[in-house]
Amino acid sequence: DAGVIQSPRHEVTEMGQEVTLRCKPISGHNSLFWYRQTMMRGLELLIYFNNNVPIDDSGMPEDRFSAKMPNASFSTLKIQPSEPRDSAVYFCASSSDLAGSEQYFGPGTRLTVT
Amino acid sequence: GQSLEQPSEVTAVEGAIVQINCTYQTSGFYGLSWYQQHDGGAPTFLSYNALDGLEETGRFSSFLSRSDSYGYLLLQELQMKDSASYFCGVGQAGTALIFGKGTTLSVSS
């Protein structure tokens, strides 16, 4: 298996621009998680899906952030408009159980907003 | 509310044994997970404890005491490559894993 795939690996954009991060989970995994990691805040859960349905989006920082999972093999995290404080590494992870006790992480997307 | 506490930093020498503790406070607890993350890398799954006791996987072991709301990760025969951040994560009913702030382990020769 190729593991969790994320794209792009690096993204540099200017404040105010729209950013779309992409994730392909491991085939057969029915739960998908989006995280943000910074030195200050650590690893924060933003949103997670089970069977393509959003279960908990309470970690999404504000309305500028949105996530979709149109099918079992693809998810997007969109930030519009982006701000410098959104600079972080964004990880996608997938799991075969609802709560994700055993999760497999993608390589992450390093986002820099200038 | 819910909370997770683990030390921010631990240092040790090659060949030593180190224990990274994790205490938690949550409702609907059902398991404790451990992840390793090297600098610039992604977290990787190490272990999961749903029941009290010790789980051993090679040089790494993980322990859970549900009555004490406490667990630990034990790393034996430390190697330089074990230098990384280690996160405990609490599984709870109705929501996804919640991670601690992580413990940075530095192994020196």
- Which residue do the tokens 């994730």 mark? A23
Q: Band of the pLDDT at B27, cuts 50, 70, 90?
A: confident
Dihedral Cα B33, B38, B43, B47, nearest 10 deg: -30
Distance CA(A3)–CA(A6), nearest Å, equals 10
> Is B98 within 8 Å of B89 (Cβ atoms)?
yes
**Between B31, B41, B93, which is nearest A101 by CB?**
B31
The C-alpha of B75 sits at a distance from chain A's nearest C-alpha, in angstroms, of 19
In percent, how much of chain B has pLDDT > 70?
98
- What count of other Cβ atoms lies within 10 Å of the Cβ of residue B92? 17
Residue from A23, A43, A55 to probe the interface with B (highest B Cβ count within 10 Å): A43
CB contact under 8 A, B96 and A45: yes
Which H or E run contains B103?
strand B103-108
Distance CA(A21)–CA(A7), nearest Å, equals 6
Each residue's pLDDT tens digit, A61-95: 889 999 999 999 999 999 999 999 999 999 999 99
Each residue's pLDDT tens digit, B45-67: 999 999 999 999 899 999 999 99
Each residue's pLDDT tens digit, B57-100: 899 999 999 999 999 999 999 999 999 999 999 987 767 788 98
Distance CA(B56)–CA(B46), nearest Å, equals 10
CB contact under 8 A, B100 and A31: no
**Between A43, A48, A103, which is nearest B45 by CB?**
A103
Work out how many CB contacts closer than 8 A connect A with B. 57
